[in-house]
Chain A
Amino acid sequence: MHLDDLYRQVIMDHYQHPRNQGELDGGIKVDLKNPSCGDEISLRLKVEDGIVRDVRFQGSGCSISMASASMMTEAVKGQPVDKVLELNKAFRAMMKGEDVDPDELGDLEALHGVSKFPARIKCATLAWQALEKGVQEPRQ
């Protein structure tokens, strides 16, 4: 177990410079909390014609949860909902330590090391839980 496997440079970069942070006018809003640790995320999604047109997040939490949220927004922005759900499935599988095609995950693969830190998996999946809830809500 090496710390560098967990805290990869790309993760720390997202933590320090979160992408797609902020509010959106309208759209779907999902607020999620991890009651056991206090991490919070507020996700905003604009889904039109089955495509995630825009996505923003705000929140507070550890580096893993905030970086994962930022990386998730980059990965899903502009993608069809079906593809987003597939990506969600692949990401969750990676967290469980299952073999996943690295090409499918792209940059998200940097979070691979989290699977070796069982106590931190819930940090990395918080944003994805919010996303899953959001895209499955009845269309606006």
Chain B
Amino acid sequence: MNVLEVRKDFPILQQQINGHPLVYLDSAASSQKPRQVIEALKHYYETNHSNVHRGVHTLGSRATEAYELAREKVARFINAPSAEQVIFTRGTTESLNMVAYGYARAFLKEGDEIVLTPAEHHANLVPWQQAAKATGATLKYVPLQPDGTVSLDDVKQAISSKTKLVAMAHVSNVLGTINPVKEIAAMAHQVGAVMVVDGAQSVPHMPVDVQDLDCDFLAFSGHKMLGPTGVGVLYGKRKWLDIMEPTYFGGEMIDVVELYDSTWKDTPWKFEGGTPIIAGAIGLAAAVDYLSDIGMEEIRQHDHRLTAYALEQLKSVEGVTVYGPEDSRQRCGLVTFNLLSIHAHDVSTVLDSEGIAIRAGHHCAQPLMRILKVPSTARASFYLYNTEADVDALVASVRTAKEFFQHALG
């Protein structure tokens, strides 16, 4: 992969921010979009747009074809056994809520347990809290190791015959740790529990094969993997999707509507009530094409190289605390840190004044922030368009921030 060539595909990167070339290190929050994705949206709206699955006119057929082709592309991308196991949603949050409503609330009961970790993003935590409250099930947290990793022994301890659902991020959005979800899925299956994987931070950055992981559900977002905002995916095993009730009702998802009862379409259409996210799905398919052309293994290695380099460079700055595992092989795509006792917002403002965009805050993971005992952290995240020069700019700016605040604070 030639990063400099890749960068040419991203118009947004060719600009100055506050008088400096933009260094975009916030892809874990949302990635930028290549021309190919923007063009696909434009082409769709300019030539093929219509509503799908209804009407018999030519545009209707074209839009339906493009929408269903997007489903097939996404299915191939994650190696789903069939396209019907790919549901288009608004994003990871909606995907996880769909499982919480359609599966957990329907099938869990008092005394059942949901196993998860305190490092989960709020999107993979609050839906389970609410499902537990509604069903009488309890949440059981796997403790984190001091470096933020999850130990299989601890998971083994937490999982029992009471466990009905295990929910875990494939990659932590704060620490960047890669969790052994394949092994954990096997443990879950031994006790008859389902494995829900939050793939928001893994699917954009590494090859993810749902059949190899053998997960029951996988949720991810389009906008973190070069796609447009407002589209995401829920993959599920057929046996679960078929017995799950839709979570919302209306047009498009119905089979026969009577005055007092109705029946639903098959999976996945029964989950896509209303006019679906047509343009979003088509944009996501273009993103999947772009990523596939480069190759996910290539992207994984690139992101890993940058992460390892950033880890090493940031650690060389006295006063920088880096969170998460020391070994970069356990990480994916991001580095979270703090500088002295300077608040991450203050650090981020200095970086922004030099054109560098990072995330500062609690990263939608308040329980994890309490474990780290910090109110907030700064996070630099990398993607296929980032270079070692971006990391150098980050580290130089962190040094500037250090000098600035040491001077300002006397």
Interface residues of A (CB under 8 A from B): 1-3, 6-7, 9, 12, 15-16, 36-40, 60-64, 117, 119-120, 123
Interface flags, B327-368, vs A, CB<8A=1, else 0: 000000000000000111110011011000000111000100
**5 A-B pairs (CB sep. < 8 Å):** A1-B18, A3-B350, A6-B349, A37-B376, A63-B343
In the assembled complex, the CB of B177 is this many whole angstroms from the nearest CB of chain A, namely: 21
B contact residues around A15 at 8 Å (CB):
409
* B345 engages A64 (CB within 8 Å): yes
Indicate if B146 sits at the interface (CB-CB under 8 A).
Answer: no
Query: Smallest distance from the beta carbon of B347 to chain A beta carbons, Å?
Result: 9
Bound together, the chains give a CA A64 to CA B408 distance in angstroms of 13
| Smallest CB separation, A43 vs chain B (Å) | 18
| In contact, B353 and A1 (Cβ under 8 angstroms) | yes
Contact partner of A62 among B343, B362, B404, B409, CB < 8 A?
B343
B410 within 8 A of A: yes
- Complex Cα distance, B342 from A15, in Å, reads 11
A38 near B369: Cβ-Cβ < 8 Å: yes
Closest 5 CB pairs of A and B: A62-B343, A62-B345, A38-B362, A12-B408, A37-B361
Query: Is the CB–CB distance between A7 and B408 below 8 Å?
Result: yes
A61-B343 CB under 8 A given contacts A1-B18, A12-B409: yes
Residues of chain A contacted by B346 (CB below 8 angstroms) = 7, 62-64
Q: Give the one of B344, B346, B409 with max A CB within 10 A.
A: B346
A63 to B409, CA, bound (A): 10
The answer to the question of B251 belonging to the interface, with a C-beta cut-off of 8 Å to chain A, is no
A45→B410 CA distance, assembly (Å) = 32
B345, B353, B409, B410: the one contacting A37 at CB < 8 Å is: B345
Distance in angstroms from B323 CB to nearest chain A CB is 15
* Residues of B227-271 contacting chain A, CB below 8 A: none
Chain B contact residues: over half helix, strand or loop, or mixed?
helix
User: Across the interface, do A60 and B350 meet the contact criterion of CB distance under 8 Å?
Assistant: no
Which residues from A are CB-within-8-Å of B410? Answer: 12, 16
Q: How far is the CA of A89 from the CA of B156 in the complex (A)?
A: 57
Interface positions of B (Cβ within 8 A of A): 18, 342-346, 349-350, 352-353, 360-362, 366, 369, 375-376, 404-405, 408-410
Tell me the minimal C-beta distance from B200 to chain A in angstroms: 19
B409 touches which of A3, A6, A16 (Cβ 8 Å): A16
Which one of B344, B376, B404 has the highest number of Cβ atoms from chain A below 10 Å of its Cβ? B376
Q: Cβ of A3 and Cβ of B375 under 8 Å apart? A: no
Closest residue of chain B to A123, judged by CB? B345
Beyond the given pairs A3-B353, A60-B375, 4 more chain A to chain B contacts, judged by CB atoms under 8 angstroms and listed by A's residue number, are A1-B18, A7-B346, A37-B345, A63-B346
Query: A61–B362 Cα gap in the complex (Å)?
Result: 11
Complex interface: chain A residues within 8 A of B18 (CB): 1
How many Å lie between the Cα of A38 and that of B348 in the bound state? 15
CB nearest to B345 among chain A residues: A62
Q: Which residue of B lies closest to A2 (CB)?
A: B353
Q: Are B361 and A3 interface neighbours, CB within 8 A?
A: no
- B404 pairs with A3, CB closer than 8 A: yes
Among B18, B343, B362, B366, the one with the most A-chain Cβ atoms within 10 Å of its Cβ is B343
A64 to B343 CA separation, bound complex (whole angstroms): 10
Cα(A54)–Cα(B97), bound, Å = 47
Q: Is the CB of B362 within 8 A of A37?
A: yes
Contact between A9 and B408, CB atoms less than 8 A apart:
yes
Pick the residue among A6, A38, A63, A64 that contacts B376 (CB under 8 A).
Answer: A38
> Which A residues are CB-close (under 8 A) to B376?
37-38
- Name A60's closest neighbour in chain B (CB-CB): B375
Inter-chain CA distance A6–B408, complex, in Å, is: 11
Do A38 and B366 have beta carbons less than 8 Å apart? yes
Residue of B nearest to A7 (CB): B408
B404 near A38: Cβ-Cβ < 8 Å: no
- Which chain A residues border B405 with CB–CB below 8 Å? 7
Q: Chain B contacts of A9 at CB under 8 A?
A: 408
A7 to B407, CA, bound (A): 11
Residues of chain B within 8 A (CB-CB) of A16 are 409-410
Across the interface, do B349 and A3 meet the contact criterion of CB distance under 8 Å? yes
B344 proximity list for chain A (CB < 8 A): 62
A97 CA to B258 CA, complexed, in Å? 58
Query: Which residues of B have CB within 8 Å of A3?
Result: 349-350, 353, 404
CA distance A40 to B80 in the complex (A): 45
Nearest-neighbour CB distance to chain B for A49, whole angstroms, equals: 37
Would A38 and B350 be within 8 Å (CB), given that A9-B408, A120-B345 are in contact? Answer: no
